[in-house]
Amino acid sequence: MAADTSRAYIENVGGQYSCRDSWAGTLSFQVRADSTLAGSGLLKLVRLSCDFPSGQGLPDVARSYAFSVSGRQGASGFTFVLAHGRPAGIIYAGLGALMDDGVCTGGSSPPIPVPFTGPSRAAGSSHLRVLMHGGCGGSENSDVLTADTTFSLSGSGS
């Protein structure tokens, strides 16, 4: 699993700024008898860049992000719902678009379809864009979050 995310800080004092990051990681899940999914995942920060004013710095950057996985297995693939975890630090870009619980955006992120590509294999990608309402995440501003995610899954099929 890989994710490239961004956040446009659109209502900041002194101008608009943005951050972009890249994450790579794994997810592990089991398919229950009723075709529901249960599992977890872990993403690790690969790259982060922000265009904040000089000297502003990036304190307490989150380097990893653990999350939960739920969803369903259907005839043509999986549908994933990725749920908020507890990062050890601050996520400056748009990972919240991918794993949103609805608190800051007014609605949870949509399920992500990942079609089967062969026996015990599935692959797909998604593009999510959400508006984070002011007053969330310690900010009084509204910001735009995006997440482009690629899934490439293989398993034992058991």
pTM of the model: 0.83
Per-residue pLDDT of 5-19, as tens digits, reads 998 877 665 567 888
Per-residue pLDDT of 103-155, as tens digits, reads 565 556 678 899 999 988 999 998 888 777 665 655 566 778 888 889 998 87
Q: State the pLDDT at residue 158.
A: 46
Assign 61 to helix, strand or coil. strand
- Structural contact between residues 93 and 142, judged by C-beta atoms closer than 8 angstroms: no
Assign 125 to helix, strand or coil. strand
Q: State the pLDDT at residue 26.
A: 93
Q: Please spell the DSSP secondary structure of 11-55, one letter per residue.
A: T-TTS-EEEEEEEEEEEEEEE-TTSEEEEEEEEEEEEEEE-PPTT
Distance CA(48)–CA(97), nearest Å, equals 16
Per-residue pLDDT of 26-61, as tens digits, reads 999 999 999 999 999 999 999 999 887 766 677 889
Tokens 């950057």 identify what position? 61
Distance CA(12)–CA(127), nearest Å, equals 25
